[in-house]
Each structure stands twice: as structure tokens, then as C-alpha cells.
Structure 1
Amino acid sequence: MRLLSWGRGVWGLAGLLVVSAAAHAQANWPDRPVRVIVPFPASGATDLVARTVTQRVAADLGQQLVVDNKPGAGGTLGTAEAAKAAPDGYTLLLTTSSTHAISPHLMPKLAYDPRKDFVPVAHVADAPSVLLVTNSLPAKTVGELIAYAKAHPGKLNYATSGNGTIVHLNTAAFSAQAGVDMTHIPYKGTALAIPDLIAGQTHVLFDSLPTGMPHAKAGRLRALAVTSEKRSTLAPELPTLAESGLPGYSSVTWFGVYLPAGAPPALVEKVHKAFAKAVQAPEVAESLAKLGVEPAAPRTPAQFGAMVQADSNRWATVIRQHKISVD
């Protein structure tokens, strides 16, 4: 009986030591370099956002944050790898709406569950899109574009960066809400679509602000509206789609930070505060603006998670209604 009691005491002490060590590690986070998985290629938008923000986080924390690009399968390969990491704060995932709000509805056999395998930590930034039309169209406003499309059903076509991309989803959502019928012309990236739009071979494109607006400012294309809920600070002269006759229309590509499931709440809060502080730094906002990205409005981890779930629900509906699939 004494031996049993002694054994229980040893195991109990061991458990306390493990808990104490975990608590100590959390309290001292980070005491070694932190790996930040970016599931997209180097020099892409997500990579540049990650490097801009993590540089400031590293400076504030006095510890190195190492961006580790793990591209493939639309971001899902690197995301799956991050899901398997230890939830100790030394592997983070900085990703976009693609991996957590869109891909789960296009790729039913993902190697991760965006809700069960991750803990939302910090909403970092948003990238709105701009609605562009070819100059050969007479439409100078969203209302005029909708009226023209309704008067010429099936005559307009819209370019996208491929099936199932955010460009495709934005246009599908626009067409459904506006009640117009346009033909989808997928390209391998919007950069390849722009020349045909300028030439009038295609008519409509939802593009990112950095790549689309220079053509509009040069007069080669016409910009009608932005997709964000509020007017973009990057193009304040443009109305939102919601202002332009499509109430409630709102779509941005968001960038956010996740920890693997099982991360303790105290650690989540600590990582959240580090990124939230960095995003509010003026030089970070200035650098993000050059990328066509705006710092995210302050949100708690729970609020960020709720936002992502609402985004996911919305895209699930669009994908289902339009029978959208990937190539």
C-alpha cells in the first residue's frame, strides 16, 4: 500500500513538473527564434505582408521570427504542416482567407480542419479588390454597368485569375447580387488577363489595388468601386460596391496569424498582443500600403475567429450556388 502511494506521488510530482515547465515556457515566450510558416511562395503578397509585420514583431520582442515559405496546392500544403506543429508558440502560421475560408469548400479532402486544427490569434491586414471595366464599355458607375449587363444578357464576359480564386468568387457574388449574367473567362493570373481587358476582349475584372489601379490612373481601364466594407485609404476616391447599389457587399482578402490547436489561452493572448501592436506601428502601415494592403482593425482572437467563420459561410454559399470547382 505504501508502494502504491509512493508511485502515485512520483507520477503526481512528474505531472506538476511538466505543467510547471509548460507554464515557464509560456511566461518566457519567446526565448528562442520563432518559425512563421507562410504557405505561399516567396515574394508573393502573403510573404511580403508576413515579412513586413514579423520584422516589427521581432524588433519589439527582441527575438528572431523566421519566415518559412511552404508553398503548394493553393497554400494547403504549408497549412497542413503547420497544423501538425507543437502548440508551444514556436511555430506560427501566417495565412489568408484562401486556406481557411475558401479551400475547405473547394477541396473536401484537405489534410487539415481549419477550425479543429488551429487557434485564431491575430487579424493582421486586409487587401480589398477593385472593380475594373474596359474602356469600350459605356458604363462609368456600378449602376450603369449593372444596367448595361441587364440590357445585354450574356454579352459581357469577366476575367479571373482561375477557377475558385478570390477573383472568381468576388465576381460570382457580384453577379448574383446584381442579377446579371456574364460569361467566365479564367486566366492563369490577373496579370495575363489585363491586356485582354485593355483591348476590350474581356469586359470586367476584380483585381488587386496595386496591380489594377495603375492602369486605371493611366486611363487604360476604368475603376468603378472597391470591394471593402468601407472606402479604402489606398483609393479613397472610389466608392464601395455597397455604396453603389449593392448593400451589404463586402469582400477582402484577409491576412491572419494562427497557432496549432491546443495552444494555451495565455500564450494565444501573448502572441496576439505582439502582432496587434506591430500592425499599429506607423511604419508598418506605410509599408503595407505600398503592397496594397491595409492594417486590420483591432480584433480579439475570438472576434477574428468569428470573422473568419462568417467569411467561410459566405463563400460556401457562393461556391455551392454557382457550382464552382477548382481546375
Structure 2
Amino acid sequence: MNRRTALTLLPGLIGLHAPAVRAQERYPDRPIRLIIPFAAGGSNDIVGRVIAEGMAARLGQTFVVENRGGAGGILGNEAVATSASDGYTLLLGGSGSFLISSLVQPKVPYDIIRDFAPVGFIGNAPNVITVNPKVEARAMGELRDLARRAMPPLSYASPGVGTTGHVLGALLALEFGAEMEHIPYRGTGPAITDVLAGRVQILTNAAAPLRPHIASGGLRAVAVAAPRRLEFLPDVPTTVEQGFPAILSSTWYGLLGPAGLPADRVAALHGALNATLAEAGAKQRLSEEGVDIEASPTPAAYARFIEVDRKRWQEVVTRAGIRAE
């Protein structure tokens, strides 16, 4: 039996061992709630709403988007982890709000491996390393040398403690072998403002919110922390090209449900997600947010990605001694 045949037969096989009323249920037969652990208006919100719209059309059921920010994503994550395992509550998970927050926060009321059911990967928004134009560094090697001799230390801004920008800045300091000062803000906007003003020297973030400032000259892009260049920043070399292969970071997005989600419902959600990601309109809208779509072939593949990425960032968090107070 090949994989496609197995997936086709799976719902029927499950139904043989369930009560008769379960076998006759149609999924979904009521609205699905998608929790986004951020306030409305940012990139996470935009990505989540694109996905919700596309999946609703394919599953024939309304998706209700609920923005539940706070505590670095923990409040929204917990709401999903403790919800019923019936496929009617989903989470837009991310590198910072889902994975990194679980490594740096002192008390997290769930385990990201044990308490969630991965549905599928959405894609990556590779992070860009930028500096204020007054910083005398145009390449990674120059930035490393400057960081090593700077007194006082160079500072880097982030949207907050435990964000992707925070741990990438810490990774830069580790790989440069230099002391650097972390300046956390309440969101990307205030962080950009202070780097533009020269009060902080370095900012790393997904490309979309940085792109207009790079284009205007307000920020200088030093590198893309990815294996390949970005299409809309073709002149910015990667960290790998510049001899820093360990400095890789992206803001990634994925879909998850609570642990125990029935396999047939995971399969239905995964299929609708991947069909959405293959649609031209969704591709365009996600590309505008700097997202490089990378649909996972199976939910299990996404689960393995989470485990590998957690191990990689756990090493950085431990070496850098990062801990949210």
C-alpha cells in the first residue's frame, strides 16, 4: 500500500473503531478558531489571516481569527494547548512566540513537543542584519572586528526578550567572540525607531519591516542570515557567503493544534494548508511579508523540524545565558 492510498483509507479505518455517531460526523461542521499570539496588524497577523482565509475556502467552514497577545506568546499558546483535541482550535506558531519563548521564559505551562500536534510548516522569513549608517561596517567581517574592539560594546535592539531578534543578536556576539549589549523594546516599531536615530547600533529582524528603511538609506543591510539571498534584496549577501555559516536565523511560521488531535483531522488540515500555500494569491500576499513558502510534505516532517530547531536554539540560549526575568 502506498502513502496516498493509506491516507485515503485512514478516516474510514478510524471510523471502524469509533461509535456510530462519530463515523457519520463531517469535519469541520462548525467554525474553527485560529489563535494568533500577537496583537492585530503585524506580520504574524497578516500571515495568519491569509492562511485562515485560504483554509476556510478549502474546508468549507469559517475560520475565526483570535488575536491573543501577551507574555511573549505564552498566553495564546497555552489557550491552544489546553483546548479540546477536536480540530476546532488551532495555533499560528512561530520561531519566537512558540519555540524561543519556551526556552527563555522561567515558567512555561506547557511542553512544545508533548502538548501540541504539528499540522504543517508555512514558511520562513529570513532575518536581515542591519546597522545604523554611522556604524563603520559594511560586511560581516568588518562588523565582527568592530564589535571586538568597541568600547563601550556595540548594542543591538530587539522587539523584546526571547524574540528571534534577541537570540540572533546573542548568536552574533557568540560567533564574533565579542561582548554586545542587548536593548529590548516592546515590539519591532520602537526598536527600528531607536536604531534609525542612532541610539542603538544594530537591529536584526525579518526583512519586511526593514525593507523601506534599507531602501531609503536609514538602515544599512550587512547580511541576510540565510543560505541564499532574498529576491527583493538581491544585492545583500548572505552570512554563509561571507564566511559565517553558523549565523542562520529566520522568523518562521507553522500551524499546530493541541496534542491528541485525531490523525484524520490532522490530515484534512494539512491538506487544506498546503493547498492554500500553493495558490497564487496566497503566495503573492505571503511574499509581500517576506515569507519564503516551504510547505511540509507531512505533519511529521514539521514535527522533526521543531525538534531540530529547538535543539539548535537551546544551545545558543544556554551559551549566552539568556533568561527572561
Which of the five TM-score ranges fits, normalised by the shorter chain?
Answer: 0.7 to 0.9
For residues 95 and 122 of structure 2, the distance between their equivalents in structure 1, rounded to whole angstroms, comes to 12
Aligned partner (choices 200, 217, 220) of residue 202 of structure 1: 200
User: Is the Cα contact below 8 Å between 1:102 and 1:312 reproduced in 2?
Assistant: yes
User: Is the Cα contact below 8 Å between 1:153 and 1:182 reproduced in 2?
Assistant: no
User: Aligned runs of 1:25-64 on 2, under 5 Å?
Assistant: 25=25, 28-64=26-62
Show the counterpart of 1:22.
22
Cα RMSD for the two superposed structures: 2.1
Show the counterpart of 2:284.
286
User: Aligned runs of 1:145-164 on 2, under 5 Å?
Assistant: 145-152=143-150, 154-164=152-162
Q: How many residues align?
A: 311
| 2:21 partner letter | A
For residues 221 and 159 of structure 1, the distance between their equivalents in structure 2, rounded to whole angstroms, comes to 13
| 2:190 partner letter | L
For residues 185 and 98 of structure 2, the distance between their equivalents in structure 1, rounded to whole angstroms, comes to 23
Tell me the TM-score normalised to structure 2 length.
Answer: 0.88
Show the counterpart of 1:138.
136
Q: Structure 1 pair 154/314, CA: closer, same or farther in 2 (3 Å)? A: farther
Shift of the alpha carbon at 1:30? 1.8
Which structure 1 residue ranges, 5 or more long, are not aligned?
Answer: 1-14
Q: Structure 1 pair 298/231, CA: closer, same or farther in 2 (3 Å)? A: farther
Shift of the alpha carbon at 1:49? 0.8
Shift of the alpha carbon at 1:266? 2.2
User: Is the Cα contact below 8 Å between 2:16 and 2:23 reproduced in 1?
Assistant: no
User: Is the Cα contact below 8 Å between 2:97 and 2:163 reproduced in 1?
Assistant: no
Q: 1:220-268 deviations in whole A, cap 9, x for unaligned?
A: 2211111233322342332221222111322112111112111222221
For residues 60 and 128 of structure 2, the distance between their equivalents in structure 1, rounded to whole angstroms, comes to 38
Show the counterpart of 1:235.
233
Q: Structure 1 pair 146/29, CA: closer, same or farther in 2 (3 Å)? A: same
User: Aligned runs of 1:261-272 on 2, under 5 Å?
Assistant: 261-272=259-270
Show the counterpart of 1:174.
172
Partner SS for 2:117: strand
Higher alpha-carbon Rg: 1
| 1:58 partner letter | A
Tell me the TM-score normalised to structure 1 length.
Answer: 0.87
For residues 108 and 101 of structure 1, the distance between their equivalents in structure 2, rounded to whole angstroms, comes to 14
| 1:64 partner letter | T
| 1:226 partner letter | V
| 1:287 partner letter | R
Aligned partner (choices 252, 255, 267) of residue 254 of structure 1: 252
User: Is the Cα contact below 8 Å between 1:100 and 1:308 reproduced in 2?
Assistant: no
User: Is the Cα contact below 8 Å between 1:153 and 1:181 reproduced in 2?
Assistant: no
Identical-pair percentage: 38
Show the counterpart of 2:68.
70
For residues 145 and 33 of structure 1, the distance between their equivalents in structure 2, rounded to whole angstroms, comes to 50
| 1:22 partner letter | R
Q: Structure 1 pair 39/21, CA: closer, same or farther in 2 (3 Å)? A: farther
Partner SS for 2:209: helix
| 1:203 partner letter | Q
Partner SS for 1:171: helix
Which structure 2 residue ranges, 5 or more long, are not aligned?
Answer: 1-14
User: Is the Cα contact below 8 Å between 2:35 and 2:76 reproduced in 1?
Assistant: yes
For residues 211 and 100 of structure 1, the distance between their equivalents in structure 2, rounded to whole angstroms, comes to 21
Deviates more, 1:237-246 or 1:278-287: 237-246
Shift of the alpha carbon at 1:31? 2.5
For residues 193 and 43 of structure 1, the distance between their equivalents in structure 2, rounded to whole angstroms, comes to 17
Q: Structure 1 pair 222/163, CA: closer, same or farther in 2 (3 Å)? A: same
Shift of the alpha carbon at 1:326? 1.8
Is 2:92 the partner of 1:102? no
